[in-house]
Structure 1
Amino acid sequence: MKRFTSTIIICCLALCAFGQENTKIDTVKKKEEVLGAVLIKSFRVDADSPITHSNLSKEEIKKINLGQDLPILLNQLPGVVTASDAGNGVGYTYLRVRGSDATRINVTLNGIPFNDAESQGSFWVNLPDFASSTQSLQLQRGVGTSVNGSGAFGASLNLLTDNRSEEAYAEISNSFGSFNTRRHTVKASTGLLQDKFELSARLSNIYSDGYVDRATSDLKSYFLQGTYDDGQTLVKAVLFGGREETYQAYFGIDAETLETDRTFNPVGQQFDNEGNFEGFYDNEVDNYAQDHYQLHANHRFNANWSANVSLNYTYGRGYFEQYVDAFNYGSNLFDPSATYAFLGIDPITVNGEEITETDLIRRRWLDNDFYVISTNANFKTDRIDVDAGVFYSYYDGDHFGEILWSEFPLDGLGYKGRYYDGRGLKQEVTTFAKATFNITDRLSGYADLQGRFIDYEATGLTSDREPIDVDKTFNFFNPKAGLSYQLNERNQLYTSYGRANREPRRSDFEENATVRPETLDDYELGWRFSDGKLQLNVNGYFMNYQDQLVLTGAIDDVGARIRENVGSSYRLGIELDARIPLTDMINLQPNLALSTNKNRDFLFQRDGALTNLGDTNIAFSPEIVGGGIIEVIPVEDFYIRWLAKYVGEQYMGNIDSEASILNSFFTNDLNVSYEWKNPWFFDVITFSGLLNNLFDVEYEPNGYFFTFDDDFSNPGEITTIEGAGYYPVAGRNFLLGATLRF
């Protein structure tokens, strides 16, 4: 703890030292500098940086923002694959980049980590309609630049919330569509008051029945922001959060059900003691709330020096409610949750019969606090731009389970009796220094040094009532470097190297106490061409992993993905994207990602014997991911956009089993947007529409694969059994919306 405290003190003293510099403001510069530019400076890269990246502006986001979660809005970026439990992009949605899932994609909101400190996941369902308060975002593929929080092992995603508004406004947005989906959003701003202050706010409510049976979503969110700017000091206070209640659809369906009843949802099934189906439990829901409190302050001391301090507190709490049916769970050889033995309770006798299992209703709770202080300073001249900073975070998370009801008495566990209790504590200090510098008029360099120092403790019982006792310290050094060479006004070449290290997450320790941290060396080489409106980007990469924690394909009893170390592995690929103006009215935006993703000398226990399978494909890593947008502007402010997406065949496991193949798919969407300016007393009315899956394709972008050893059917003989499940998405469906701004 002394190490953490000393680092923070040193950081604060350094900022005070900067404060002693000449505070005269460079009159050549603008009086004001948007705080967002300061917030993103340390975590984003410029267009000519040697880091592979894509940007999306507010204008691009709002064209398709009709209530679907933010991962779905990123679907057209290179190398991106998205999925949805409910099948229509509302509720629990998922993002993969270069085959890496959300636990390996670093996400920051105004530079503050959004990934959960323990699970390392990013759960956008907790921040519904956050896209409506996003000014811009940048997706860096690969290791990227140094960022706060867990290392980027596939990509990093940085979001900047709304800039302040110079003019006062009010805005009402409503949309509706298939599966009773609807969104209602209200936004407003005071505009700039006394040339210094601005207040803005947003309230949103999204509801959907979902494509999958009972996969309902009831989502609410808020966003409040206050900005102060006196031309020298910028202060921004941001409060935002969300409340979600979603009926769960995490089990998917098997291949047979996929053919006969694509929308079937097995979650919540109830049976009588003879196994007769009785219906579904109507409150098998995930209920969670998350609130974020951020304070950002920037001061520009002179023409060369500026510094920033950010504070954050995130409070998350909620539960997953589940009906445990004794017959249903009793037929599952691997889940004893309905038994008295599992709960650590002695059986009881009722009417002379010994009772060893019971139907019950349980809630599994998370209650966590996350604190952050982040400081950084910037020095800039015509030839060099240097950023340095220190980040500190503290996470305190409680995990516990309650029994709400049981068919038979549970002695010692009354109403809301706890049947497990655990805790996780995580502290992290990150220090970094990075610089971009001109070597010659055409050649520039990039250097980035980062140290991450992590203490993690996990104690108590897991939700499976297994003891967990983790006390680990991780010290990581992550260097990065790159070069950019400007051949001429149109062509630029770049290359970079970056190293990243990551600690395991809580569930990795639950699955395997000897789990190891993972290391990535990322090599990138690219070419950028720009000729006015025509742009072309080509990037090649080689990502070499040691002890990569890959998805096994299997899921746990609440749908979370299980991972394992695989020793040596790699991802090798090339990415292309372009913006091509065919005419003044027609623009093309194609992208293509080709890759090979391999585990080296993968070992697998089949039929009781350990077998070396050689090089196998990494799970959920398609070799081809392509997309494109054809945009037609027949008249001013009227946009017609054709969105196409192709994802090649992929394996859901790491053993190249035919049973684990997830088929390729090709989908097309149609997006229309029109801005009607100055009608009546409005500034603008925007009409928008989205027709998803235009050709009504039946496909599954996500699934799971599992194996187990059958040593009971034929005593003395072990047979490896394989199985798979799938998450289907909706056929043709639509969303229509209108935004009134005045």
Structure 2
Amino acid sequence: MKKLLAILVFASMTVIGFGQGSIKGIVLDQETGDGLIGATVVLKGTSLGTTTDFDGSFEIAPVSDGTYTVVISFTGYETIEKEATVSGRPVDLGSVSMGFASVGLEEINVVASVAIDRRTPVAVSTLKGAEIEAKVGNQEYPEILKTTPSVYVTKTGGGFGDSRINVRGFDQRNTAVMINGIPVNDMENGWVYWSNWAGLSDVTSTMQVQRGLGASKLAVASVGGSVNIVTNAAEFRKGVKLSLSTGNDGYQKYGVMLSSGLGEKGFAATAQFTHTRGDGYVDRTSFRAYSYFLSLSKTFNPQHTLSLTALGAPQWHHQRTVSTFDKITLATYQEKGIRYNHVAGTLNGKEFTWRKNFFHKPKVFLNHYWTMSEKTNLKTSAYVSFGRGGGTGPRGRLRTPGSVFDSYSGDGVGIHDENGEVRFDDIVAYNQGQIIDGWGDAKEKYNGQYVVSSNGKIDGTNAGSGFIRRASMNYHNWYGVLSTLTSELTDNLTLVAGLDGRYYKGEHFRRLEN
């Protein structure tokens, strides 16, 4: 009897074993042929599912016998459904290619001169939106590139948005940065200020680094390379997405995305808003940032599509800057810790610093895509940007009767208290004519007056005594148009012609900020 029971149990287990199978495959980008990392794969109507691996491969196991609908989805791509029948053995769906799920996104890639790996003869590294979202966390946007070959990233002083990128040893003045093919580098000095694009990681479809002279059609300084950032376009699918993330040092981020989906008349709209705040890793480098993104698209017919995209990120953040004048050395940080900020303190009980950056640089793009024939098309992008903001710093000195500047000379020395923080409350009192211990009797001579200009004189002999916080203001109006005509003349010969026109007007001045 025991032997019979054992045989029955074994037979039952054998039947169950043969009734289990699996479903596997690999998900690829239709345009590049690269594997899509992090795509979601689920069996419709069940709780079974997984995400794709680093090469785009996936496997769902165990799966009971039956016929299933496999649903494959990925941010920015069309959702794909495939039928699979399991009968006790693995089912291989093979390669599944996914195309763009956003109106006009493929055309934006053309305008942005996005290179295709193994097809474009330049060295490239490409990150997709889902990979960026997974990597960025509470890092700054450029930091996700720090593992990219030939790319060096530093946070410089450690303030929010103050990161810098070097490509092949060249700084950002020789590295072209573009959003949807539109240049971002400052028209006057070539720098890129990443704090102006705080919310860009939330709306990025693709980010690509081309090392060396690459595929860009722009007249820009790109001997080091170029960074192409392609934003999302209006989504085909209708929906609402809410997000919340937290991190160290008070980091908080809130976001919402709304999409109308593609309507019957060819209209689609997507809007996204985020708010980011935190205390900063470096002492007294708090920040507040907002970002917005709006994309409207209208497909009139198979030949003509028009899209409007607007994005911006108003922000302010406290900074830490170090120069030879500041007298800060490695020994200073060894003694006081790497987070020490010699330009910060409190004013009326609230965080205050000599160095504060504030800026808003919105960009608006109007794109027209015209398919003239099967072999000829014209992509045109007109854009405008209005930048407003600046950065603050100290101006002045104490005459006691010698000169005491804002540089750090030690705890309890000059304008720094025993903890190494700037004595902003005492500076205000001194400017108002009060006598401050350790700062001499200069107020009796200068009567609380402060003269910013080196030409300013009191009693015809000396400049004033005291400090202010000045703001160096930078305003600009920037207009441009970028148009590319592509015509396939033969199977081996393609004509590419274009226009890159820009107009820029900048204003620079200083104002008394505090």
- TM-score class, shorter: 0.5 to 0.7
Matched with 2:341 is: 265
Query: How far 1:260 moved relative to its partner?
Result: 1.4
Checking the alignment, whether the CA contact within 8 Å between 2:284 and 2:344 is kept in structure 1 is no
Q: After TM superposition, give the deviation of residue 385 of structure 1 in Å.
A: 2.9
Pairwise mapping of residues 103-182 of structure 1 onto structure 2 (< 5 A)?
103-182=173-252
The residue type equivalent to 2:289 in the other structure is L
Equivalence map 1:38-117=2 (5 Å): 38-42=107-111, 43-47=113-117, 48-85=119-156, 87=158, 90-117=160-187
Q: Residue 284 of structure 2 contacts residue 351 of structure 2 at CA under 8 Å; is this kept in 1?
A: no
Instruction: Report the secondary structure of 2:223's partner residue.
Output: coil
* TM-score of the two chains, using structure 2 as the length reference: 0.65
Deviations 1:578-623 (A, max 9, x none): xxxxxxxxxxxxxxxxxxxxxxxxxxxxxxxxxxxxxxxxxxxxxx
Opposite residue 126 of structure 1, the aligned amino acid is N
Q: How many residues align?
A: 364
Matching residue's letter, 1:397: G
2:381 is aligned to 310
On the 8 A contact 1:106/1:149 being kept in 2, the answer is no
1:411-560 residue pairs with structure 2 within 5 A?
none
TM-score scaled to structure 1, two decimals? 0.46
CA offset at residue 237 of structure 1?
Answer: 0.2
- Tell me, in whole angstroms, the C-alpha distance in 2 between the residues paired with 1:358 and 1:145: 54
Quick one: which amino acid aligns to residue 298 of structure 1? Y
CA contact (8 A) 1:135 1:162 kept: yes
Matches of 2:390 and 2:486, distance apart in 1:
42
Q: Which moved more, 1:131-140 or 1:280-289?
A: 280-289
Residues 1:363 and 2:468 aligned together? no
Distance 1:50 1:282, change over 3 A: closer
Q: Report 1:325-724 matches (<5 A).
A: 325-327=396-398, 330-331=403-404, 343-349=453-459, 355-380=463-488, 381-404=490-513
Q: Which amino acid aligns with 1:346?
A: G
Match of 2:106 among 37, 47, 51: 37
CA drift at 1:404 = 4.3
Say if 1:126 and 1:149 are closer, same or farther in 2 by CA, change over 3 A: farther
More deviation, 101-110/247-256: 247-256
Task: Kindly indicate whether the alpha-carbon contact (under 8 Å) linking 2:378 and 2:485 is maintained by their aligned counterparts in 1.
Answer: yes
Partner in structure 1 of residue 268 of structure 2 = 198
Q: Secondary structure of the equivalent of 1:140?
A: strand
Structure 2 residue 339 is the aligned partner of structure 1 residue 286: no
Secondary structure of the structure 2 residue equivalent to 1:359? strand
Distance 1:290 1:307 in 2: 28
Q: CA deviation at 1:135?
A: 0.7
Aligned partners of 2:455 and 2:463 also within 8 Å: no
> How far apart are the structure 1 equivalents of 2:320 and 2:252?
20
For residues 510 and 264 of structure 2, the distance between their equivalents in structure 1, rounded to whole angstroms, comes to 52
Aligned-residue CA RMSD in angstroms? 3.1
Partner amino acid for 1:265? Answer: N
User: Which amino acid counterpart does residue 401 of structure 1 have in structure 2?
Assistant: R
Summarize the Cα distance change of 1:327–1:291 in structure 2 as closer, same or farther, 3 Å threshold. same
Q: Secondary structure at the match of 1:287?
A: strand
Deviation at 1:175, TM superposition (A): 0.7
- Measured after TM superposition, the shift of residue 403 of structure 1 is 2.4
Alpha-carbon distance between aligned partners in 2 of 1:194 and 1:280, rounded to the nearest angstrom: 53
* Runs of 5+ unmatched residues, structure 2: 1-98, 408-430, 432-448
Distance 1:279 1:305, change over 3 A: closer
CA-CA distance at 1:242 after TM superposition: 1.0
Match of 2:329 among 254, 265, 280: 254
Deviations 1:656-697 (A, max 9, x none): xxxxxxxxxxxxxxxxxxxxxxxxxxxxxxxxxxxxxxxxxx
State the SS of the aligned residue for 2:106. helix
Q: 1:78 to 1:305 in 2, by over 3 A?
A: same
In our comparison, the structure showing a higher alpha carbon Rg is 2
Q: Partners in 2 of 1:266 and 1:222 — Cα distance?
A: 34
- 1:392 maps to amino acid: G
Structure 1 residue 96: Cα displacement = 1.4
How many angstroms apart in 2 are the aligned matches of 1:268 and 1:364?
18
SS of aligned partner of 2:274: strand
Deviation at 1:258, TM superposition (A): 2.0
8 Å contact kept, 1:67–1:206: no
Q: Larger strand proportion, structure 1 or 2?
A: 1
Residue-by-residue CA offset, 1:440-497 (whole Å, 9 max, x unaligned): xxxxxxxxxxxxxxxxxxxxxxxxxxxxxxxxxxxxxxxxxxxxxxxxxxxxxxxxxx
Match of residue 303 from structure 2: 232
**Contact kept in structure 2, 1:113 and 1:149, CA below 8 Å:** no
Write the letter of the residue equivalent to 1:264: Y
**1:395 CA drift (Å):** 0.8
* Gap runs ≥5 in structure 1: 1-29, 272-277, 406-742
User: Which residue identity is paired with 2:457?
Assistant: P
Compare the two structures and name the one with the higher helix fraction. Answer: 2
1:149 deviates by 4.5
SS at match of 2:185: coil
**Does the 8 A contact of 1:183 with 1:206 survive in 2?**
yes
Deviation at 1:136, TM superposition (A): 0.7
In structure 2, the CA distance between the partners of 1:164 and 1:52, relative to structure 1 (3 Å rule), is same
Q: Secondary structure at the match of 2:142?
A: helix
Distance of 1:357 and 1:123 partners within structure 2: 34
- Whole-angstrom CA distance in 1 between matches of 2:462 and 2:225: 55
Q: Distance in 2 between matches of 1:308 and 1:279?
A: 51
Query: Could you tell me how far apart the structure 1 residues matched to 2:346 and 2:244 are?
Result: 38
Over the matched positions of the two proteins, sequence identity in percent amounts to 23
1:365 CA drift (Å): 0.5
Provide closer, same or farther for how the CA distance between residues 362 and 70 of structure 1 changes in structure 2, counting only shifts above 3 A. Answer: same
Determine the C-alpha separation between the residues in 1 that align with 2:261 and 2:454: 61
